[in-house]
């Protein structure tokens, strides 16, 4: 599978991981070569085979709905480079979106 | 009398009052300070770790190290990445908590490939770890720091993490025992995720008995890891002396995914012969889909990694760069914070999950994983355990593969099948090739750590490797 | 507002309801509204390295309950999935949600429609985690992760609605059920119920769907109706002028009463969903599901029907009385105890509703029991309490509990209706005011009120006005 420069840029954008111009070409070649090797999977007959998203053969377990205090905002914020008024501070967000 | 005994001996002698746990910790710290400049096995350590005296618990006072991707409350946890520079974990993961509860003494964190992505411990902000047997060679990876620390007797127990062989391969390269239990046996809580469905914590120790002791404390369900298993934990130490007489073991059928040079082939044959002499019967086993392990593994692992590493944006932890807008900040933090191999894998995984490609790559890989699991299920209908080389070669030179990612990936071929199937697997040192150690792997059925230990101990008895290692590394010993 | 003839709108709604739990969906942090920023957080909901999610059982139970009530197929094993996208209030860089194997599929929300019923089909109901909140300030934004990890049920309808009113009714009925089952508090102002819509228009008779747009930020019932009408008219105008509807996401601005396209670059969304490796497939057992089914209360609409049939109420009354389960439960007990459904309904929709509203109280928090109110209704009906006095008694009962008789005694409010006693009183009032009696008899009929007033002031308002009137007329007109 040849990764074109255009496709690579799309992937960089999805991953929020822009490459430097000098990294891009060698990485593009690496990825293409790696994916060429992975083409072997195309030979397999996978009709009707279930995917193995998990290997743990276990009954799932759940939490009881019992609240416990968190770690507190001071510790929550302790690793942040910038805080303001008990919040994580970030540069202005361009483009707003309500989501969930 | 060794100054720095192994895990079991440490516990016994602390208990019997032969020396105090503080003295032992001081010895270890002196050793780390003397040797780390040469080996770079530790990323950072706690120089004050020897202060308190600890005597209680099954691991009473024995020192241990964590790989730098394992959280322990109040300790630096960086995954050898610039993007986590300075991050102090505010909580302890399940593995660290269990070792602490068992009375073991934390000394520090070991070097690794950034976010456990690599097979050589060269992709690290701390610089490469050197192989104690030959400092021009790799200690393996990604738990190379843990393997080198145990081999050089800096510490009797180091935890590693194994996603596709990252405990077993460095164990083989450094001549120590590395064990990855069944997926789900050890809590992943506090393990900084690389590939969640594959990651598993395990041990690096000098011998199988030490591993058995440590694993008994480490294994067990954790309410904070929903994939941890509730099954009863087997007693492992009684398995050490049971031998393998009357058991059947699988050896991989000769086919395209098994090509060994003469040296490694001879060492592996010695292992097979030793087990046969111990009374076990070899059976040739076909794993027809194992040859696809590299493709399946690297697609699944990188896909999961691309998502697991999305949280590193520099907003809540890690250093931050200057930017006008949030988007710019995000891009700057990520493109400058991750190293080349991590970028390669995030991009590969993003591709494997992206619209238009997810069926042909990620989903095909997950289905292939099912075929590989089925191969194993069939195999274990006839055999009690399997053996296979840990690596195609002994430790390679630093720099030899770091510019050729595909050849690095391909060298993982022997460890990946067990990772994809979530099986318990061990690497036991069992010979030398041109003066460098090689490991033989044992694979057991899901949850059958007892069989794993039993077979590993039998193999170990045939090769008294502790003596070989101590003799070979005598020059290191003198250095401290 | 209505569409030009020949056009119809097609609406589907996506509703996010916060599930009423004490702790978050994947960690033990307490849920809540307001409070110190980032105080209800832990390594899991902060997305710290190494922290893992563990599913809250109650989230499964509540969502399965909703699905069962709506006739959905509830999966024994559903799959959590990661939805990958970057946003500062989403600390992991992905939301744990569900994708191709949701907990509930199918089912319908039934709504009253043109005197009958109509079913709005559901596509699915799935569970997911809420995001935190961003505060946009001058030159920077602040992030509060308190809400992050709150449990949500996302209820997705088929494009089955044809008017803003229908959409509003659907949302109302869904909210009613969420409250009815105790699943959510359904508070749109606080954001515990949120609504997005997909809208398209087409010519009446067409079977193909038109290009749809997505409307976000519909934070009230009024906004839902207004935004849908606005958007449909906009689309028709575009199409009628020969244009093409673009696939866009629009934000509703309730203040300006208009929608506007989401700012920022419009990139194609590729969420790269995949099964959440940290969580095994989740679901309840058949046994657990049957227990839930067994505990399902009768639906609001069934109770509404029963009020109309068995209590002879009209739709309007029955509808209001079935807004909340506690209300209709109260009503039925009350109607039974006082033996008068009409009076019970009048009291509940009138004075009691007014009092609850003034007190900002819910019926289930009341000290007032249905049989006490029934007692009050009977006292009034039997003329033992005047209407005014009855209201004072109700007020006391709401404040301090106790029975209607008790309060009537304590406040000395019992109505004076003893014929002999009242007759004497009338007699003495007439005797004390001979001039007025004379003028009345001479034609000044308006003075009747004066005599009533005299009697009322002599009895502090307790005299039965009907009886007083009768006796006065007797004495004056004789
Ligand atoms: Mg959603
Ligand atoms: Zn939390």
Structure tokens at B211: 């591993």
Q: Is the pLDDT of residue C311 over 80?
A: yes
Among this protein's residues, is B142 annotated catalytic?
Answer: yes
Residue A21 located in a structural domain: yes
Mean pLDDT of B147-159: 97
Interatomic CA distance for residues C135 and A83, integer angstroms:
13
d(CA B272, CA B247): 13
Q: Is residue A27 part of a domain?
A: yes
Q: Which two tokens stand for residue C140?
A: 């920077």
Residue at A16 is within a domain: yes
- What is the band of A78 on the pLDDT scale with cuts at 50, 70, 90? very high
Percent of chain C topping pLDDT 70:
98
CATH numeric code, B7-287+385-479: 3.90.1300.10
C376 and C445 share one domain: no
Q: Is residue A41 left, alpha or beta, with left meaning phi > 0 and alpha meaning psi from -120 to 50?
A: alpha
**SS3 state at B354:** coil
How does the average pLDDT of chain C come out, rounded? 92
Confidence of residue B1 (pLDDT cuts 50, 70, 90): very low
A46: closest CA of chain B, how far (Å): 7
**Chain C 184-243, residues with CB within 8 Å of chain A CB atoms:** 194, 216-217
Residue A100 within a domain: no
Q: Residue A11 belongs to a domain with what CATH number?
A: 1.10.20
Place of tokens 């109260």: C330
Report if residue C273 sits inside a domain. Answer: yes
Mark which of C410, C430, C465 sits at the end of a domain: C410
Q: Is C268 a member of any domain?
A: yes
> What is the C-alpha to C-alpha distance for residues B392 and B179, in angstroms, rounded to an integer?
18
What domain range is C363 assigned to? 298-410
Given the structure tokens 């509730």, which residue do they identify?
A: B230
Span B455-480, pLDDT tens digits: 999 999 999 899 999 998 888 755 54
> Does C293 score more than 90 pLDDT?
yes
- Whether C351 and C254 map to the same domain: the answer is no
Q: Which residues contact B185 (CB under 8 A, 6 or more apart)?
A: B200, B219, B220, B228, B229, B233, B424, B447, B449
Does the active-site annotation cover B166?
yes
> Is the distance from CB of B78 to CB of B68 less than 8 angstroms?
yes
Strands (E), B192-309: 200-205, 248-252, 281-285
Distance from the alpha carbon of residue C192 to the mean position of ligand 1, in angstroms: 13
Query: Is the bond into B142 cis (omega within 30 degrees of 0)?
Result: yes
Look at A97 and C216 and tell me if their CB atoms are within 8 Å. Answer: yes
Element containing residue B27 per DSSP (H, E): helix B21-39
- Across-strand partners of C122? C157
C43 and C187, same structural domain? Answer: yes
Question: Which position has the higher pLDDT, A43 or C464?
Answer: A43
* B119 three-class SS: coil
Q: Which range of residues forms the domain containing residue A12?
A: 5-41
Same-domain status, C272 and C335:
no
Instruction: Report the CATH number that the domain containing residue C473 is assigned in CATH.
Output: 1.10.10.410
**Interface predicted TM-score of the whole assembly (ipTM), two decimals:** 0.96
Domain-located, residue A19: yes
**CA-CA-CA-CA dihedral for B308, A36, B395, B177, to nearest 10:** 50
Residue of C nearest to B196 (CA): C277
The percentage of chain A sitting over the pLDDT mark of 90, rounded to a whole number, equals 81
CATH 3.90.1300.10 residue ranges of chain B are 7-287+385-479
CA–CA separation, B399 vs B148, rounded Å? 18
The answer as to whether A93 is a domain residue is: no
Plot region of C327 (φ>0 → left; ψ -120 to 50 → alpha; else → beta): alpha
Please confirm, yes or no, whether B67 is among the known catalytic residues: yes
In sign, the C-alpha dihedral spanning A22, A28, A29, A33 is positive
Tell me if C233 is assigned to some domain. Answer: yes
Q: How far is the CA of C254 from the centre of ligand 2 (A)?
A: 33
pLDDT in tens, B230-260: 999 999 999 999 999 999 999 998 766 778 8
pLDDT band at A95 (very low <50, low <70, confident <90, very high): low
Q: Are residues C161 and C87 in the same domain?
A: yes
Whether C323 and C307 map to the same domain: the answer is: yes
For B24-166, strand residue ranges (E) read 42-45, 63-67, 105-110, 130-131, 134-138, 157-162
pLDDT in tens, B198-209: 999 999 999 999
Closest C-alpha to B450, from B261, B289, B237, B251: B237
**C287 with C312, same domain?**
no
b/e map C63-79, b = 16+ CB within 10 Å: bbbbbbbbebebbeebb
In a domain, A94, yes or no: no
Q: Are residues C152 and C261 in the same domain?
A: yes
For an interface test with B, the pick among C50, C53, C271, C280 (most B C-beta atoms closer than 10 Å) comes out as C50
Domain boundary among C241, C269, C291: C291
Number of domains forming the structure of chain C: 3
Q: Which of residues 302-321 of B touch C (CB under 8 A)?
A: 303-304, 306-307, 309-311, 313, 315-317
Tell me whether residues B307 and C52 touch, CB distance under 8 A: no
Compute the distance between CA of residue C67 and CA of residue C63 in angstroms, rounded to an integer: 6
Number of structural domains, chain A?
A: 1
User: Which residues in chain C are closer than 8 Å to A93, comparing Cβ atoms?
Assistant: 88, 134, 136, 141
**Same structural domain, C373 and C467:** no
Q: Are C195 and C286 members of one domain?
A: yes
Three-state DSSP class for residue C108:
strand
Residues C132 and C241 placed together within one structural domain of the fold: yes
């Amino acid at each position: 599978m040849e990764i074109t420069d255009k496709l690579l840029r799309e992937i960089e954008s999805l991953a929020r991981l822009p490459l430097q111009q000098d990294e891009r070409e060698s990485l593009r070649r690496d990825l293409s070569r790696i994916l060429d090797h992975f083409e072997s999977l195309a030979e397999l007959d996978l009709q009707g085979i279930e995917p193995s998203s998990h290997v743990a053969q276990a009954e799932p377990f759940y939490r009881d709905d019992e609240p416990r205090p968190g770690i507190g905002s001071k510790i929550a914020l302790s690793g942040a480079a910038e805080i303001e008024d008990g919040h994580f501070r970030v540069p202005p967000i361009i483009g707003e979106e309500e989501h969930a | 009398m060794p100054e720095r005994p192994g895990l079991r001996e440490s516990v016994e002698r602390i208990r019997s009052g032969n020396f105090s746990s503080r003295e032992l910790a001081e010895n270890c710290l002196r050793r780390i300070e003397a040797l780390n400049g040469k080996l770079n096995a530790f990323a950072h350590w706690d120089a004050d770790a020897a202060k308190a005296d600890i005597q209680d618990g099954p691991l009473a006072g024995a020192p241990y190290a964590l790989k730098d991707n394992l959280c322990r409350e109040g300790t630096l946890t960086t995954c050898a990445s610039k993007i986590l520079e300075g991050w102090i974990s505010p909580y302890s993961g399940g593995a660290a908590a269990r070792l602490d509860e068992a009375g073991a003494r934390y000394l520090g964190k070991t070097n690794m490939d950034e976010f456990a992505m690599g097979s050589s411990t060269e992709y690290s902000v701390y610089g490469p770890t050197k192989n104690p047997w030959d400092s021009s060679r790799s200690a393996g990876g990604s738990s190379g720091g843990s393997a080198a620390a145990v081999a050089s007797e800096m510490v009797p127990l180091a935890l590693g993490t194994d996603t596709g062989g990252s405990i077993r391969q460095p164990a083989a390269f450094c001549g120590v025992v590395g064990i990855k239990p069944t997926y789900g046996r050890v809590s992943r809580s506090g393990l900084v995720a690389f590939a969640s469905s594959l990651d598993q914590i395990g041990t690096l120790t000098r011998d199988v008995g030490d591993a058995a002791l440590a694993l008994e404390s480490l294994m067990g369900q954790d309410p904070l890891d929903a994939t941890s298993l509730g099954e009863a934990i087997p007693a492992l130490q009684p398995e050490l002396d049971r031998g393998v007489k009357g058991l059947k073991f699988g050896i991989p059928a000769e086919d395209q995914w098994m090509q060994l040079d003469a040296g490694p082939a001879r060492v592996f044959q010695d292992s097979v012969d030793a087990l046969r002499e111990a009374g076990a019967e070899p059976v040739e086993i076909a794993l027809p889909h194992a040859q696809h392990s590299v493709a399946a593994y690297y697609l699944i692992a990188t896909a999961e990694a691309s998502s697991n590493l999305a949280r590193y944006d520099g907003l809540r932890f890690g250093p931050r760069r200057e930017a006008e807008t949030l988007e710019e900040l995000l891009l700057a933090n990520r493109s400058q914070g991750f190293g080349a191999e991590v970028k390669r894998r995030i991009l590969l995984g993003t591709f494997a999950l992206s619209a238009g490609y997810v069926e042909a790559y990620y989903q095909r890989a997950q289905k292939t994983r099912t075929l590989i699991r089925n191969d194993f299920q069939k195999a274990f209908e006839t055999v009690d355990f399997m053996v296979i080389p840990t690596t195609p070669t002994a430790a390679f030179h630093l720099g030899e593969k770091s510019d050729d990612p595909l050849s690095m990936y391909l060298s993982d071929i022997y460890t990946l099948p067990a990772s994809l199937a979530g099986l318990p697997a061990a690497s036991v040192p069992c010979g030398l090739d041109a003066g460098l150690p090689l490991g033989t792997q044992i694979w057991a059925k899901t949850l059958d750590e007892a069989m794993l230990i039993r077979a590993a101990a039998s193999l170990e008895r045939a090769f008294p490797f502790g003596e070989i290692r101590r003799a070979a590394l005598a020059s290191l010993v003198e250095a401290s | 507002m209505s569409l030009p003839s020949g056009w119809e709108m097609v609406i589907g709604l996506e509703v996010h309801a916060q599930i009423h739990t004490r702790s978050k969906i994947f960690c033990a942090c307490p849920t809540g509204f307001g409070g110190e920023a980032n105080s209800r957080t832990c390594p899991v909901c902060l997305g710290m390295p190494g922290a893992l999610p563990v599913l809250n059982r109650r989230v499964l139970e509540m969502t399965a309950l909703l699905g069962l009530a709506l006739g959905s197929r509830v999966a024994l094993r559903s799959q959590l999935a990661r939805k990958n996208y970057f946003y500062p209030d989403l600390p992991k860089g992905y939301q744990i949600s569900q994708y191709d194997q949701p907990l509930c599929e199918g089912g319908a929300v039934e709504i009253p429609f043109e005197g009958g019923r109509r079913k709005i089909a559901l596509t699915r109901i799935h569970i997911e985690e809420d995001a935190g909140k961003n505060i946009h300030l001058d030159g920077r934004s602040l992030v509060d992760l308190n809400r992050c990890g709150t449990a949500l049920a996302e209820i997705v309808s088929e494009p089955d609605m044809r008017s803003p009113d229908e959409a509003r009714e659907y949302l109302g009925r869904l909210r009613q059920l969420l409250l009815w089952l105790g699943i959510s508090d359904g508070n749109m102002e606080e954001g515990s119920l949120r609504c997005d819509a997909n809208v398209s228009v087409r010519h009446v008779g067409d079977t193909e769907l038109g290009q749809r747009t997505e409307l976000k930020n519909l934070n009230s019932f009024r906004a839902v109706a207004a935004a849908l009408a606005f958007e449909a008219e906009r689309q028709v105008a575009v199409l009628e002028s020969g244009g093409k509807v673009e696939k866009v996401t629009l934000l509703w601005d309730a203040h300006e009463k208009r929608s506007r396209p989401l700012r920022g670059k419009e990139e194609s969304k590729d969420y790269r969903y995949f099964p959440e490796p940290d969580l095994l497939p989740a679901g309840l057992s058949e046994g657990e599901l049957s227990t839930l089914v067994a505990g399902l209360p009768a639906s609001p609409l069934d109770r509404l029907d029963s009020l109309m049939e068995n209590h002879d109420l009209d739709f309007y009354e029955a509808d209001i009385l079935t807004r909340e389960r506690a209300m209709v439960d109260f009503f039925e007990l009350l109607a039974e105890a006082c033996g008068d459904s009409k009076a019970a309904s009048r009291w509940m929709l009138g004075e009691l509703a007014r009092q609850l509203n003034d007190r900002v109280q819910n019926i289930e928090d009341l000290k007032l029991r249905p049989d006490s109110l029934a007692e009050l209704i009977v006292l009034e009906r039997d003329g033992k309490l005047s209407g005014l006095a009855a209201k004072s008694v109700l007020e006391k009962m709401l404040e301090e509990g106790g029975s209607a008789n008790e309060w009537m005694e304590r406040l000395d409010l019992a109505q004076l209706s003893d014929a002999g006693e009242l007759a004497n009183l009338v007699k003495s009032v007439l005797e004390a005011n001979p001039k007025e009696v004379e003028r009345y008899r001479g034609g000044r009929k308006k003075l009747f009120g004066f005599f009533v007033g005299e009697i009322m002031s002599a009895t502090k308002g307790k005299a039965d006005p009907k009886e007083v009137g009768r006796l006065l007329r007797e004495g004056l007109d004789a």
